[in-house]
Amino acid sequence: MLMNIYKLISILLIIQLVSILKSPIIFSQQLHKAEVLNSSQREEVKNLIKSFIRNNPELIVESVQKMREKSQNQISNTHKKNIKKYKKLIFYDPQTPIIGNPNGDITIVEFFDYNCGYCKSSLKVIKKLLEEDTNIRVVLKELPILAPSSEFAARVALASWIYNKPLYGKLHSSFMSMSGKLSKQRIMRVVKSFGISEKLIKKEMFSDPINKILANNKLLARELGISGTPGFIIDTKVIPGAVNLSTFKKLISEIRSK
């Protein structure tokens, strides 16, 4: 009898954990199955569950941790699968701007927004990394999600890449170094300061190739679970948020040692 009670407790504990971690709908379905118990029995089981949880909290923590690890592993496997699926578009799209060594043995992909403060900080880290390691290529994926001026800046920068590739890096650094929120006027002043044809930029920035680049970047971000900026891809890893210099170096060392 005691064994049956503990078996029932275990089942109901799992049901409750599933309801918390997955879906209240699943929980309601399982409760429906448990309605074979009368009200007195359900109350007894409820008290037993409370007592069990109170006396064995470590089991609950362990279960939650295992569920979290399982979820993280599933996400990681999905990332690896999609990185493989979109490998060419992620790492080798000829329309995507590159800084650093075009033939580098390590590729870092960054999804960024020109109005993103963490992206501005990340550029300093990337520049330092490129100074110290000349065998790294950085693929820059414009992901304008924070403001209309983010998309305007992205289109201007991409137009400069198509128009004159060496100018892209200069515009990119200039936009990233600007404090506060960008505006169309501030963006075009930077363009003018580099002697770039405003007429040509404005003509190119809404062209089909640039529309396609931005659409592809949004697709990749969605498929790789990148919902904010910055977001990085290095080897088969998707890394959300800013990454410090030492972490980059550690990841690069691990990849090269394979």
Same domain for 181 and 252, yes or no, is yes
* Six-digit token string for 5: 């009670």
Residue 21 reports pLDDT greater than 50: no
Please check whether residues 188 and 226 belong to one and the same domain: yes
Q: Tell me, yes or no, whether 105 and 37 share the same domain.
A: no
Asked if pLDDT for residue 84 goes beyond 90, the answer is: yes
Single-letter amino acid code for the residue at 124 = K
pLDDT at 4 exceeding the cut of 60: no
Could you say which of 83, 101, 118 is where a domain stops?
83
pLDDT on residue 234: 96
Strand order in the sheet with 136-142: 98-100, 136-142, 106-112, 231-234, 237-240
CB 150, CB 182: distance < 8 Å: yes
Q: What would the mean pLDDT of 105-125 be, rounded to a whole number?
A: 96
Alpha-carbon dihedral sign for residues 245, 248, 250, 256:
negative
The answer to whether residues 97 and 68 belong to one domain is: no
Of the candidates 83, 99, 119, which is a domain's last residue? 83
Q: What gap in Å lies between CA 226 and CA 232, rounded to an integer? A: 9
Statement: residue 8 has pLDDT above 70: no
27-78 pLDDT, tens digit each: 455 555 555 667 887 787 778 777 777 777 777 777 777 777 776 767 777 8
SS (H, E, C) the chain: CHHHHHHHHHHHHHHHHHHHHCCHHHHHHHHHHHHHCCHHHHHHHHHHHHHHHHHCHHHHHHHHHHHHHHHHHHHHHHHHHHHHHCHHHHHCCCCCCEEECCCCCEEEEEEECCCCHHHHHHHHHHHHHHHHCCCEEEEEEECCCCCHHHHHHHHHHHHHHHHCHHHHHHHHHHHHHCCCCCCHHHHHHHHHHCCCCHHHHHHHCCCHHHHHHHHHHHHHHHHCCCCCCCEEEECCEEEECCCCHHHHHHHHHHHHCC
Domain count, the chain: 2
Lowest mean pLDDT among 23-37, 113-127, 160-174, 216-230: 23-37
Residues 75 and 92 in one domain: no
Whether 106 and 183 map to the same domain: the answer is: yes
Q: Are residues 106 and 152 in the same domain?
A: yes
The domain that contains 161 carries what CATH number?
A: 3.40.30.10
Residue in this structure with the two tokens 């390691």, named with its chain if needed: 133
Instruction: Give the bridge partners for 98, in sequence order.
Output: 139
Identify whether residues 6 and 47 lie together within a single domain.
yes
Predicted confidence (pLDDT) per residue in 162-216, tens digit: 888 888 999 999 999 999 889 999 999 999 999 888 888 989 999 999 999 999 9
184 and 132 inside one domain: yes
Boundaries of domain holding 242: 88-256
Whether residue 246 has pLDDT greater than 60:
yes
Residues 25 and 76 in one domain: yes
Q: What is the pLDDT of residue 5?
A: 46
Q: Which of 16-20, 102-106, 226-230 has the lowest mean pLDDT?
A: 16-20
CA atoms of 169 and 176, how far apart (whole Å): 11
| Same-domain check for residues 191 and 235 | yes
Write down the pTM of the prediction.
Answer: 0.73
| Domain identity same for 111 and 27 | no
Domain-ending residue, one of 58, 83, 108: 83
